[in-house]
Structure 1
Amino acid sequence: MLQRFIRKTAALLMSLVILLGSLPGTAGAEAKGRAKNVILLIPDGMGISYMTAARIFKGEELSFERYVKGLMKTYSADTNITDSAAAGTAMATGYKTNNGMISVTPEGKQPSSILDAAREKGKGTGLVATSRITHATPAVFTAHDPSRGNEVAIALDYIGNVDVILGGGRDMFLPQKDGGNQPERDLIAEAKDQGYDYITSRSDLNRVTGDKVLGLFDMSDLKYDIDRDQANVPSLAEMTGLAVDVLSRNDQGFFLMVEGSQIDWAGHANDPVALIHDVLAFEEAVNVALEFAKKDGNTLVVIVGDHETGGINIGNTAGGYKENIAVLKKAKGSANAVRDALKKQAVQLPLGSAKQVDGRYYMPVREWVRELKGELVYDEAASSVQVSVNGTAFAMNLLNETIVQGEETEEGIYFLEEGTAYIDVQKAATMIGLQAGIGTVEGEPGKTKAYIVDIRKVMEPIVGLELTESDLQWLTSVNWESGSALSNEVGTVISAHALISWGSRHHTGEEVPLYAYGIGSDEFVGLIDNTDLPRILSYLMGVEHFSDETEFMQKLENRRNH
């Protein structure tokens, strides 16, 4: 009887051990070195609300949401709001650094990365990005520099150290004599000499046969996915597929980092159209990784952003408890595409000799009419000027400085000085059914110009929205000569229609969600620091990048279980 009781008790205890061992966060650490391959996918700048917006837009959950494991802290060594260089350094090397530094600590040390450790163990290595491949996030995995801006120097650390290099930034690899930025060296030629297949377009993907490839698909950064030249530039998913195909030829396994770079840039621009489309393009890249991992059985896939950008909120004060993300489905281009189209189709009027009064620009009426290919007739007897521009006519009464248009009479649109009539460029554009954006260059008043264009006609087909008068006022209130002011304002206008609000045009300091699938995925349950990430990856790959990683994993388990 006693023996039967002991046997039953032992069996029950064994069942409990097996059951508890299968629950996330209660088991001991995964066996060291079990993950032959690691694919780390970084949606740069992506926070929780990015996922929410993309899910609402798509109408169903994203493919990797079911694999959510925990959260990751993002602060850097010198601030609670990190930049990509410091965040990436922590994620690649396991060490905090100051914002702007590429795998160099505040003390000047240059710790090697998890990619370096994989290479030293004979594994294949790869970097994929939609930015310049020498931009901050990919750079931290292979280069060292006190400043993320030194991309010419950073590019020198790629060839020979990374097997698969795919993204933008051809200019950082070409010599100056060929239109690049390298003072003397031709890094593309050096790559070919070292056995790399070199490709520059989507059609080249199928001709890669070797185990090393350099793919540079633009002189600078790639465009947002919604603006991408689909015929010639591969998607992030296609680049990921090529990288996996090439790297999986290595019998020792591989480490691959894939960055959805433009997600962050859409956040900086407060552009919900670009943001959602790049998140969905990133999802397709994740799907490539997940499909490989499910077939392979020896692969770990980790998805985590380096920080959040923009502080996006689903909902705004004007909308109350509503959102209108569905309105974005009609968009055919990003805020950048709108900016480029507006400036391309606008008539540009030089304002270097215009008179500026109370911050407004006035130019001679005759010059204004001539530039816009209109007609002007002066009636000396009546002291008036008949003007016809863009199919619209009005009369200027020179005696009382008014304008008569139909039954309306308006004042303050022009003034007379020494026999010349000077007209308000922006108000005059509105009178003829157009709009005028003013572009200025700091310290160079001679380059000031007006961009005269029908904003509605150009922008509405791209964004799929009907613009309000208020929208037009906002769009013409910014500096059209600035590199980002106009596109940023376009993003703000689109967001307002979608009932989306933003807290910043920079990074924010909150934790980011972490998703994982495959070998060792449960090691990411809970809240971790970004410096923990490469330590966990090193342990699971067995590359022994950190001398204390076994003890670290035990401490991680103890903290999680108690």
Structure 2
Amino acid sequence: MRKKNFKRLNLLLALIISFSIVLSPALNSNVQAKGKKEVKNVILLIPDGTGITHTTLARWYKGGSPLAMDEIASGLIRTYSSDAVIADSAPAGTAMATGFKSHTGFIGVLPDVANMPLVDAIPKGEERRPVATVLETAKLKGKATGLVATSEFPHATPASFASHYPKRSDYNTLSEQMVYNNVDVVLAGGYSELTPAKRKDKEDLIKVLKERGYGVVRNNEELSNFKGNKVWGLFAPSAMPYDKDRTENTPSMATMAAKAIDILSKDKDGFFLMVEGSKIDWASHANDPVGVITEVLAFDNAVKVALDFAKKDKNTVVIVAPDHSNGGMSIGDSGLDKTYDNEPLSTFLPPLKAAKLTGEGLESKINSEKTNIKEVMSYYYGVSDLTAEEEEAIKNAEPGKLNYTVGPIISKRAHIGWTTTGHTGEEVGLYVYHPKGDRLTGVVQNTDIAKYICEVLGTNLSETTKTLFLQADKAFKNKGALVTVDSIDKENLVLIVSKGETEIKFPQNKDIAIVNGKVVKMPGVTVYSGDKEKIDISKWYVSQNAVDLIK
């Protein structure tokens, strides 16, 4: 009987083993599929200048309830640049866009110096070389692309994803590249940057956009009614107003994010979208806690829009990644040195809750003679005890800088501390949602954001750089061509390549080549990253397609 049972047991085990061998490929493939990172879409949301205190204060302001981003908190980001502990927005944005740390003021190009820990040195001759962005890798893969910001569109962060130049203040260059880089959706401020009156090159880039099939909308109603697939929404001459100050005809961050997702998600190949809460940073520079809180909450509403879409779509990664912190803000100041551990919420919140506008929005309420300052501060901020010194400071505030005066006045009453009006160098929060749980976690570098985006989209930054940004002089000379530059007009430089009967002109910042007078479109823009006054032929970069035009 025991022998029979033993034989039966062996037979049963053999059947189980055989069955498991037959099934194992299927089981293994399920495991692989579950762990696969690649998705169709990525939404990267950047709350500029946002530290942990910024989000903590915003939570208390809304009653202590969680922010939308809280549920996807996953780690911390190290924000330093290639040669400094505290990062400027240009290299910080560039790091997240390209996977390379860079130098203050540099947009989408390598730095001159890389001497911080864990940063590779820059090979000689590669300084200021343009490097591809995650937006450009997505575009080459056939995906739709979009940028949303509350600053003017060529400001440091949005510019870092769609342009390349070592001078963040050169809006003429950055904005032209962004127009010719064929981003499908751009929603921000900065209408004047595209007009001949503002531009040194006198080009009408609004006309260029319309000729290229873009809708150009100027207000919330026009954005809502837009039905096409390519749009630039420009909702202010320069930066958009703070959310606390905006009217109904100016779209919120959440509205812009929702519209961008609606348009971009029509593309069957997927999309990449960057959304920046630009003016959290600006409020921090001004030490304006009302601006900080209301901008964080407006940004978080956009995060909710992105997460709601991603959870329903099940093929979208959402990343929330501040570029750096700002202001050294603290909940509690030196006035509470002896009582800090006994202070209730009522110590901090009433002066913040009383505000009906930010310091910037308040400026329009003060008359030209500045005789109504006490009345304005009482009505719009609930401040009935304004001192003579504070009144004088408001009276003497520079135009456009009132928030730098009002912010500290409110901070003092709310016991919000600040250490600086500049950026700070500590780590910032990282938040990631992946439909299959393959999240970026732990303490990571800002450059890891770009690398992770490429992992989940199945794209390659180095290969895209090789495709879009070859050193033109070297590449064309290897084909026996002569390379010169027409620099008569410093605002409209042209690279000229000639061989035999072929002459090709490559206008700086554009995606076109003019071959013996005939215009040919290129997959990327021609970049000159050198000095406009002293032309360096080695600093011109063109795509592989451009080089292939010379036979």
TM range (shorter): 0.7 to 0.9
Is 1:123 the equivalent of 2:143? yes
**The one of 302, 305, 308 aligned to 1:288:** 305
Map of 2:323 onto structure 1:
306
- Unaligned 5+ runs, structure 1: 12-17, 348-450, 549-562
Query: How far apart, CA to CA, are the structure 2 residues paired with 1:36 and 1:69?
Result: 21
Identity rate, percent = 41
Q: Residue type of the partner of 1:172?
A: E
Corresponding letter in the other structure for 2:62: K
1:481 deviation in Å? Answer: 5.0
SS of 2:161's equivalent in the other structure is coil
Aligned to 1:325: 349
**One-letter identity of the residue aligned with 2:144:** G
Shift of 1:267: 0.4
Q: 1:312 to 1:28 in 2, by over 3 A?
A: farther
Q: Indicate the residue corresponding to 1:110 in structure 2.
A: 130
The change in CA–CA distance for 1:201 and 1:484 in structure 2 (over 3 A counts) is: closer
**1:65 maps to which residue?**
70
Q: 1:100 to 1:195 in 2, by over 3 A?
A: same
Q: Which residue of structure 2 lines up, in the alignment, with residue 400 of structure 1?
A: none
Whether the aligned pair in 1 keeps the contact of 2:310 and 2:435 (CA below 8 Å) is no
Letter aligned with residue 202 of structure 2:
E
Q: Cα offset for 1:505?
A: 0.4
Code of the aligned partner of 1:57: Y
Q: What is the letter of the counterpart of residue 81 of structure 1?
A: I
Q: Find the counterpart in structure 2 of residue 534 from structure 1.
A: 450
Are 1:497 and 2:497 an aligned pair? Answer: no
Q: Please, which moves more after superposition, 310-319 or 501-510?
A: 310-319
Instruction: Verify the 8 A CA contact 1:479 1:485 in the aligned structure 2.
Output: no
**Alignment check: 8 A CA contact 1:35 1:520 kept:** no
Residue 460 of structure 1 and its aligned partner are, at CA, apart by 1.5
**SS at structure 1 position matched to 2:244:** helix
Give the structure 2 partner of residue 465 of structure 1: 383
Matched residues in 2 for 1:253 and 1:211: separation? Answer: 13
Distance 1:463 1:478 in 2: 13
Change over 3 Å in CA distance of 1:524–1:503 after alignment to 2: same
**Which deviations, in whole Å up to 9, do the C-alpha atoms of 1:181-203 show, x marking residues without a partner?**
35321111111111111101111
**Matched-pair contact (CA < 8 Å) for 1:479–1:486:** no
In the TM superposition, 1:412-431 aligns within 5 A as: none
Q: Which residue of 2 aligns with 1:173?
A: 194
Contact 1:236 1:281 in 2 (8 A): yes
Are the counterparts in 1 of residues 351 and 410 from structure 2 also a CA contact under 8 Å? no
Pick one of 218, 231, 237 that aligns with 2:236: 218
With over 3 angstroms needed to count, the CA separation of the structure-2 counterparts of 1:81 and 1:5, relative to structure 1, is: farther
The aligned length equals: 423
Distance 1:300 1:153, change over 3 A: same
Deviations 1:520-556 (A, max 9, x none): 65431101100111111101111222469xxxxxxxx
> What is the aligned partner in structure 2 of residue 277 from structure 1?
294
CA distance in 2: counterparts of 1:149 and 1:284, whole angstroms: 30
In the TM superposition, residue 317 of structure 1 has moved relative to its aligned partner by 2.0
1:336: which partner in 2?
360
The answer to whether the 8 Å contact 2:243/2:252 transfers is yes
Q: Structure 1 346/459 Cα, relative in aligned 2: closer, same or farther at 3 Å?
A: farther
SS in 1 for 2:68: coil
Distance 1:51 1:521, change over 3 A: farther
**Secondary structure, in 3 states, of the residue corresponding to 2:59?**
helix
Q: Displacement, 1:346? A: 4.7
Whether the 8 Å contact between 2:215 and 2:228 is mirrored in structure 1 is yes
Measured on the aligned residues, the alpha-carbon RMSD in Å equals 2.6
Indicate yes or no: 2:439 matched with 1:523: yes
Structure 2 alignment gaps of length 5 or more: 1-5, 21-26, 112-126, 465-551
Change (3 A) 1:184 1:454: closer
CA displacement at 1:485 relative to structure 2: 5.5
Deviation at 1:63, TM superposition (A): 1.5
Q: Contact 1:53/1:325 (CA < 8 Å) preserved in 2?
A: no
Deviation at 1:495, TM superposition (A): 0.8
1:302-451 matched pairs, under 5 angstroms: 302-319=319-336, 320-321=340-341, 322=343, 323-342=347-366, 345-347=367-369, 451=370
Q: Which residue number corresponds to residue 552 of structure 1?
A: none
User: 2:460 is matched with which residue: 530, 544, 550?
Assistant: 544
**Which residue identity is paired with 2:199?**
N
C-alpha distance 305-185 of structure 1, shift in aligned 2 (>3 A):
same
Identify the residue that residue 253 of structure 1 maps to in structure 2: 270
Aligned match for 2:54, one of 36, 45, 50: 50
Distance 1:81 1:212 in 2: 37
